[in-house]
Structure 1
């Protein structure tokens, strides 16, 4: 048996474990109230924008609307970031043009996910972690959390 297989028994016998001991056996530890490294790296304004978007869950889609009760996709991102103290242009394409373009491996909560076809950006959402975005998808729908459904995406970080 490896040391990692003994982690639960070590913890239950000892009751507590030091960070050095946990590191030695290949575990990880967060202090109460701490956040993961990825979450800690996300700018506070991006996390706030993400929370604003999540709070709009169930708000109806309306083409051209930018809140506070109805949204299209870029209207939701514009509204959420405005509440977080950042200014974005109106359309998904304009928002993509204004963000700092990043790779998928650099993606943090609160970053923008842009869907594209033929080089044209047609949709945007706010990354929520775990391969999911908050977005306002289409007429007849509402603001909701969805999995990223396409590989034709770009990623942008609001500055």
Structure 2
């Protein structure tokens, strides 16, 4: 089979897409670009989204604290998101990860932008969240004894999670 004709390439891509949809595994983050992005409405402007991202990255190293929601007291994952969005976009997110799962608009992987929320669900209920900062990375407050940190979505741990993106 030659792939130098557009019909041949399209057929191969379509077949691969159909075959990949047959599996039972949850959707995973893919670092491969998809140039058919969708415009997702948002109450946060692109400029505010950039501000959210820069501020979140500046909080890397802040101690984790369950229930924490300030730089002085430390953060849990939803407290970090709440603080950053209130401070840089004037938006009040819900307090819990379960509530964040339905906040804003769902964003397809091919349309994510900096400042979008990243939600992790080992099953169907989100249990952890962070802020997408670009290039397959996100800022989050991971666990007791840890600190706010920058991680990669394609790392061995996070890539095994079901991942969803939300835009406030």
TM-score normalized by the length of structure 1: 0.70
2:128 to 123, 127, 134: 123
Equivalent-residue separation in structure 1 for 2:46 and 2:99 (angstroms):
21
Aligned residue number for residue 57 of structure 1: 60
Candidates 85, 91, 103, aligned match of 1:86: 91
Residue 57 of structure 1 and its aligned partner are, at CA, apart by: 1.2
CA distance in 1, matches of 2:75, 2:122: 22
> Quick one: which of 143, 164, 168 aligns to 1:154?
164
C-alpha distance in 2 between matches for 1:58 and 1:90: 21
The structural deviation recorded for 1:124 is 0.5
Higher RCO (C-alpha under 8 Å, 6+ residues apart): 2
Bigger Rg over Cα: 1
* Number of equivalent positions: 119
Q: Distance in 2 between matches of 1:124 and 1:63?
A: 14
2:79·2:95 contact (CA, 8 Å) conserved in 1? yes
Matches within 5 A, 1:30-49: 43-49=46-52
Q: Which consecutive unaligned segments of at least 5 residues does structure 1 have?
A: 1-37
Work out the CA distance in 2 between the residues paired with 1:93 and 1:154: 13
CA contact (8 A) 2:123 2:162 kept: no
**Structure 2 counterpart of 1:110:** 115
Structure 2 unmatched runs, 5+: 1-36
Q: By percentage of residues, which structure has more helix? A: 1
| 3-state DSSP of counterpart to 2:127 | strand
Distance (Å, rounded) in 2 between the aligned partners of 1:140 and 1:92: 19
